[in-house]
Structure 1
Amino acid sequence: MAASSMPIPLPPRTPTPPPDDTVDSEPGPSVLHQHSAVSFDPKALSPSPLLLSSDMALADARLSPPSTPPSLNPFNFQPAMLAKSPIVKSNIIGQRRGHKYKHSSVMTMDQKVRFYWSVCHMFVAGYTAWKGGHSAAIQALSHLIFYDGLGALLCVLVEVFSNFEVWGRSSLVHPFGLQRMEVIAGFALSILLIFFGFDLISHNAKHTLEGIGHAPHHPHSHDPVSSGTVELTAVLAIASTLVSAVALKNHARIGKAMRFAAMKSLPSVLSNPSHFLTLSCSATLLLLPLVSLQTYQRVDKVLSLSIALAMLFLGVHLAMNVGSMLLMSYPSKEVPSVIMDIASDPLVRSVDQAKFWQAHYGLGIANLKLRVEAGDEALVKLRERISSLIRNRLSGGYGSGGQKWEVH
């Protein structure tokens, strides 16, 4: 009885695991149950509309895909208006680029005109030689016109090459750029002028010996050229020379190497010996139809021989001047007087070394080694005075268009 009165102990309660916050993934849309801040009333007959709306809002938020931040688009699909202004063409010949390069030109319009005119100048020489017939003076004039045409063509080609940077760029192989090629071409022209002179002398000697011999090779005498042909060839020679010299200035470069001190007082056209010789010969030919036939034949031979000797003299003079450039020297009568003026400066004690040489038509170099007694400021002023003296005496002064001198 005592045992039955004792309380029966309760069996131990099995511990329940804590509820999982996460919900296993199942196929289909997953809904996560969240506790709402609104209290749940178990005695209510219907759920609270506030609780229902909040639960549905949370469910919609869970069902909707997460919003991703906007990514940067590398492409711009917005319409854009291109500029309608015309493309500006570059006038710098060496900087033209693009697929339209074939439409560009290495010559300016002025250079094209001068090039075509130099070709026409040589055609005038050919026409003069063709119409000259057996006139020795007209044949000599054709040689002069052809030489002028070649000189004009050389000047145009040099200006075309100077459009490129490599023409004046110095390198180890070419310290003065490619401008020395112009000196070589000028030397070739001087040799050609000497050859023309000897050719005219040989023709005159041949005709003279044929006339002296008892049995000439040509039994018939040569008929003189008609007066109209002589006048036409003379007028063409004068016109072509004046157009090349005055209007186009084709012979400015070669004329610098052919100028003589005795001709500096003449006008610019006549100061070039080649122009002077061509114009004087053409003017003399205009007077030939006014004389008799016998006088015409004598004057024709004398005029041809005079032109041949003048071409020899000019060719030798030009070859010496251009050859001095090739040998890197400067033979001038002004150099000793310039050295004396430098030595007479009160700051200069003595001139140990003085070398003057010309690299090409546009550049001369003076290397001086002096003993001076002056400070830094006085030395700078002395250098300026010597540089100004050399430029004024050897290149004609500032603004005269002479060659450039570098003093070291």
Structure 2
Amino acid sequence: MASSSLPIPQPPRTPSPSPDSQDQRSLAPEPQYDPKALSPMHGIMQSERLNVNAPNMAPTSPTSPSFGAFPTHGSNTNAGSGTVDPNPFNFQPMALAKSPVMKSNIGQRRGHKYKHSSISHQIFLEPPPRAPLALPASLPIPTLKECRSSMSKDQKTRFWWSVCHMLIAGYTLWSAHGSLAMMALSHLILFDSLGALLCVIVDVLGNFEVWKRSSVRHPFGLERAEVLAGFASSVLLVFMGMDLISHNLQHWLESSPGHQPHHSHEHDRVSAGSVDLTAILAIGSTLVSAIGLKNHARIGKSMRFAYIESLPSVLSNPSHFLTLSCSALLLILPLLSVSLYSWLDKLLSLSMAISMCILGSRIVKTLGSMLLMSFSGNGVNDVMRDIQADPAVTAIDDARFWQVHYGLCMANLKLRVTGTEETLIKLREKITSLIRNRLGGGYGSGGQKWEVTLQFTAERL
């Protein structure tokens, strides 16, 4: 059998380099850069091909590689003899590992963090470090026990007087005996006593740091709480005035012809020609609270009536003016006849009720604008007209006037100006003085404190 006599082919074997290959590699020229090649690695790749084919190639020119001399599968042509190597591959046995191969992650990053990225160092820059805020996040609010322990002797005296003032208001209401004017007086005294008590509470809270010091939670301290309390008492004054108006309507319907009243309203509170001690007590308590505690003083500064502004300090306050005038008229009424007393009592009660509604609505409007961070005073238009008339001011971009609480107002203006630096400094001083004198009442007048912020945009002519 001819086929059995042929030798069995062995698997191809990878030729091992001959000792002469080291010498030939050392003699191989350095790769040169070809500027006409498409890739800068062209010369390096050709030098590597020369080193691979060096043992199998005939000695040719080192700079002219011979393509087609690479070994093909199953055959390898030697450059010198032209014989075929039956074993072009060299297979070696290898033992497989039983345990799974663990890939090392040394030098690798998990995920992508912009801060440590090489690209992020060029694009995403870290913000510059900022200094911590000078304002604290919040300040402790005193408890009732802390407020009581911090009260001085004068503050305790004023507190107990405000309690006595409220008791006088209750006694005035109990001694009205069908007099609508005395009932209106009792409501006014109650409003004055609430104002006196509020002044004492404000004075006690002023002992603590949280009242005036600003924080992140309370930018203007707790002084705006006084505005809120005054707003609530003014709403109560409006409701008391409306209650008196309803009582007057009820009495007018009962006294109309053809209607039999359910109960008589005879004037038996005081005898004719006598002095009304309740009215004297109301006048005395009002003067003590107005002069000693200065209740409603802040409301009187923030809300002024032109008709009574020229009167003395006590009477210039609208709340004190109503209480004292009503008490003085009640002292005169017993000197009149009974029939005339009845008509004047109803007329005085109705006029006081309407005055309470007007006064309460004005206070609600003024304090409501404070709570909404706006300014409801007069004189803003005049100030803006004077600022616009200045030759250094070309335009007013923005102007905001607002009141934080009774003692602090703020003005923020953004202006377009022209002139030298010295002119702008004088203009800043002029506008600040103008706002403080026109709106705050001037230095030493006891008006509101104004903080003025100006922003200038210089324009070239």
1:311 to 331, 337, 356: 356
Q: Which of these residues, 183, 193, 203, is aligned with residue 237 of structure 2?
A: 193
- Aligned counterpart, 2:322: 277
> CA 1:368–1:251 in structure 2 vs 1: closer, same or farther (change >3 Å)?
same
Q: Is this contact kept in 1: 2:199–2:293, CA < 8 A?
A: no
| Residue type at the aligned position of 2:202 | V
Equivalent residue in structure 1 for 2:428, among 366, 383, 390: 383
Structure 1: how far apart are the matches of 2:265 and 2:148?
A: 57
SS state of the match for residue 276, structure 2? helix
Give 1:224's match in structure 2, choosing from 268, 275, 282: 268
Within 5 Å, give how 1:3-82 maps onto structure 2: none
1:350 aligns with 2:424: no
Which of 337, 346, 351 aligns to 1:292? It is 337
CA contact (8 A) 1:230 1:285 kept: no
Contact 1:111 1:156 in 2 (8 A): yes
Matched, 1:369 2:414: yes
Alignment correspondent of 2:284:
239
Moved more, 345-354 or 144-153: 345-354
218-227 vs 352-361, which moves further? 218-227
Q: Pick from 129, 149, 162 the counterpart of residue 105 of structure 1.
A: 149
Q: Which has the higher mean CA deviation after the structures are superposed, 205-214 or 181-190?
A: 205-214
Kindly tell me: are residues 367 and 134 of structure 1, through their superposed partners in 2, closer, same or farther at Cα, counting changes over 3 Å? same
Matched residue pairs, number?
Answer: 309
TM-score w.r.t. structure 1 length? 0.72
Could you tell me which residue of structure 2 aligns to residue 406 of structure 1? 451
| Matched residue type, 2:383 | V
In terms of fraction of residues, the more helix-rich structure is 1
Seen in structure 2, the aligned counterparts of structure 1 residues 256 and 104 have a Cα distance that, compared at 3 Å, is closer
CA distance in 1 between counterparts of 2:250 and 2:452 reads 53
Counterpart among 363, 366, 375 of residue 330 in structure 1:
375
CA shift digits 1:360-401 (9 cap, x unpaired): 111111010111123333322221221111111111111111
Counterpart-to-counterpart distance in 2, 1:185 and 1:103? 18
How far residue 221 of structure 1 moved from its aligned partner, in angstroms, is: 4.5
**Post-superposition offset of 1:230:** 6.0
Q: Which amino acid aligns with 2:226?
A: E
CA-to-aligned-CA distance 1:338-361 (integer Å, 9 cap, x gap): 011112223222222111011111
Q: Distance in 2 between matches of 1:185 and 1:192?
A: 11
Aligned equivalents of 1:331, 1:170: Cα separation in 2: 24
- The secondary structure found in structure 2 opposite 1:105 is helix
Structure 2 counterpart of 1:182? 226
Secondary structure of the 1:165 match is: coil
1:318 CA drift (Å): 0.5
Structure 1 residue 251 displacement after superposition: 2.6
Question: Following the alignment from structure 2 to structure 1, what is the Cα–Cα distance between the partners of residues 173 and 148?
Answer: 38
Unaligned runs of 5+ in 1: 1-93, 95-100
Does residue 1:159 correspond to 2:200, yes or no? no
Residue 40 of structure 1 is matched in structure 2 by none
Question: Out of 170, 173, 181, which is 1:129 matched to?
Answer: 173
Partner deviation per Cα, 1:131-164 (whole Å, 9 max, x = no partner): 1111111111000001000011112111211211
Residue-by-residue CA offset, 1:212-259 (whole Å, 9 max, x unaligned): 263434254424311488610111111111111123323312222332
Could you tell me how far 1:197 is from its partner in structure 2? 0.3
Query: CA separation in 2, counterparts of 1:143 and 1:320?
Result: 21
Counterpart CA distance in 2 for 1:358 and 1:146 is 28
The one-character-per-residue Cα deviations of 1:317-340 (angstroms, maximum 9, x if unpaired) are: 111101111111112330010011
Say if 1:249 and 1:221 are closer, same or farther in 2 by CA, change over 3 A: closer
1:178 to partner: Cα distance: 1.3
Q: Residue 261 of structure 1 aligns to a residue in which SS?
A: coil
Determine what percentage of the aligned residue pairs are the same residue: 62
Provide the secondary structure at the position in 1 that maps to 2:413: strand
Match of 1:262 among 277, 292, 307: 307
Q: What letter corresponds to residue 244 of structure 2 in structure 1? A: L
**Counterpart Cα distance in 2 of 1:393 and 1:278:** 31
Distance in 2 (alpha carbons) for counterparts of 1:405 and 1:102: 33
2:386 alignment counterpart: 341
Distance 2:348 2:147 in 1: 50
After TM superposition, the structure 1 stretch with the greater mean CA deviation from structure 2, 164-173 or 373-382, is 373-382
Q: Is the 8 A contact 2:179 2:267 kept in 1?
A: no
Report the Cα distance in structure 1 between the residues aligned to 2:358 and 2:413, rounded to whole angstroms.
34
The separation in 1 between residues aligned to 2:182 and 2:295, in whole angstroms, is 23
CA deviations on 1:255-275 (whole Å, 9 max, x unpaired) are 223321332211111110111
Does the 8 A contact of 2:274 with 2:334 survive in 1? no
Change beyond 3 A, Cα 1:308–1:104: closer
TM-score normalised by L of structure 2: 0.64
2:184 maps to 140
Pair 1:214 & 2:253 matched: no
RMSD after superposition:
2.1
Q: Alignment partner of 2:444: what SS?
A: coil
**Are residues 378 and 138 of structure 1, via their aligned partners in 2, closer, same or farther at CA, if it must alter by over 3 Å?**
same
Q: Secondary structure at the match of 1:354?
A: strand
Judged with a 3 Å threshold, the aligned counterparts in structure 2 of structure 1 residues 265 and 223 are, in CA distance, closer, same or farther, namely: closer
**Which amino acid is the alignment partner of residue 276 of structure 1?**
F
* 2:34 alignment partner in structure 1: none
Return the structure number with greater relative CO, CA threshold 8 A, min gap 6. Answer: 1
In the aligned structure 1, how far is the partner of 2:277 from the partner of 2:266?
Answer: 20
In 2, are the aligned partners of 1:257 and 1:318 still within 8 Å (CA)? no
